[in-house]
Amino acid sequence: MNSDQTRERETVTNIDSLFRQTHDEYVRTRYIANLHNHALMSLRFDVKDAYEKSVRPAFERDHGRSPETGHEIYKAIGSNLFYRTYSSIRCNAQEMMPQSKQAAIERDLREMIDFARTVANENPAGGTLKTDPDLEMPSYITALDVHLTPGGYHSEFAEDDVAQGVLLGVGHCGPPINPARVFGNVGASVSKWLKSVFPDFAPSNVLDMGTQHGSNLMAYAKEFSQLELYGIDIAAPGLRYGHAKAEQAGVKMHLSQQNAEEIDFPDASFDLVVSSFFFHEIAVPSTKRILAEAFRVLKPGGIMANVELPPHKACEPFLNFMYDWDTNHNNEPNFRNFRSQDSAQLSVEAGFPEHSTFELTIPDAATFPEAQYADFLDGKVPVPLHGRGGWFIFGGRKSGAS
């Protein structure tokens, strides 16, 4: 066994400590994470330079106007060499990231599974985990590897498998580099905004739809005391992984494997229903059914708040083009279709009164200056773009006293 393969076996304190990369594996993961971040956060502005200098002028000569939609830009820019290079870098980095982690996961998968089983049996924090081996996976989950990740979210290769949960939970795009894009900040950001805008709102429980491993769900308990945490997801590996993490962290979460199109909780069960980057992964008809389910399980006076990509109507054409890149290159075929919807109207169709709906970009709780938060609430200070210090949310409040 060479030095790269020799690993010191540290004391196992949580399931993440069983993810043990060699020196070369770790360096490769860090390099790919930086490459992906560079493409996602920096090169996109160089793509805009290429668009402004050559693509838009050519389009204007041919059509007598500038492109009016992101899709028009996509069709016009397809042969541009810089854009093709940018897309190649981003696609390859997206594909290489899970590949850089798979060897470490496969080496110790049996130990990870055993650890998750032990935690589930002991339940030191008192949470629960419910999986359903007979649950049918919808085609939008099984038809392709979402995010170019082999096996997507749902695949299982062993009994009580946690592999896909670890693969995506340890960090799908690598260790965080830009603090404004740490998705664990989403729950903290939404709960802070809710507490500021609805001072009368004191939820006793919350349901996180598409919770995956519950990293955002945990954050709500920090703003709202005595909050009972419930999360549902269609993929069991992430739930098993998330349950192990929560129990070892002393966080009581109730996780269950469900299709959010048919939530098995009774009517009026929850004060708060949330989701994070969930709806752009599914077909629009499914989105409408899930939003109707969210409305059904809310108590009177309850609130639904979903973090998502901003809709087309809220963005200028080039930004729409860049957001919709994932539709064409990242195995997220529903991305553009979801963003073409009116998010406020989706909430109304689900049952929320029009006057109670909201759609806006809120500050990232970890990066936005606390001293400016009151000015943001008063409309005096704008927030950064979604994903660069801000998060777009939509939802509404159900009528009636809570």
Residue 109 lies in a domain: no
- Three-state DSSP at 347 gives helix
For residue range 101-155, what is the model confidence (pLDDT) as tens digits? 999 999 999 999 999 999 999 999 999 999 999 999 999 889 989 889 999 999 9
**Exposed/middle/buried for 368, CB within 10 Å: 0-12, 13-18, 19+?**
buried
Residue 216's CATH number: 3.40.50.150
Q: What percent of the chain has pLDDT over 70?
A: 93
Q: Is residue 67 part of a domain?
A: no
- What pLDDT is stored for residue 4 in this prediction? 44
For residue 299, tell me if it sits in a domain.
yes
Q: What is the pLDDT of residue 178?
A: 38
- Please give the structure tokens belonging to residue 62: 């041919």
- Measured between alpha carbons, how far is residue 352 from residues 204, 300, 362 in Å? 21, 11, 21
Structure tokens given for 95: 């594909």
How far apart CA 75 and CA 114 sit, in angstroms, is 50
Determine, yes or no, domain membership for 354.
yes
Per-residue model confidence as pLDDT tens digits over 185-217: 899 999 999 999 999 999 999 999 999 999 999
Q: Is 324 inside a domain boundary? A: yes
Does residue 79 fall inside a structural domain? no
> Could you tell me the pTM of the whole model?
0.92
Whether residue 209 lies inside any domain: the answer is: yes
Q: Taking 60 as the threshold, does the pLDDT of residue 179 lie above it?
A: no
Residue 164 near residue 198, CB atoms below 8 Å: no
C-alpha torsion sign, points 383, 386, 387, 388: negative
Q: How far apart are CA 101 and CA 171, in angstroms?
A: 10
Please check whether residue 291 is in contact with residue 346, taking contact to mean a CB–CB distance below 8 angstroms.
Answer: yes
Q: Domain total for the chain? A: 1
| Of 38-47, 198-207, 360-369, the least confident | 38-47
- Quick check: is 105 in a domain? no
C-alpha–C-alpha distance, residues 212 and 235, integer Å: 7
User: Strand pairing partners for 360?
Assistant: 393
User: Does pLDDT of 173 surpass 90?
Assistant: no
Question: Which residue range is the domain that position 250 belongs to?
Answer: 179-397
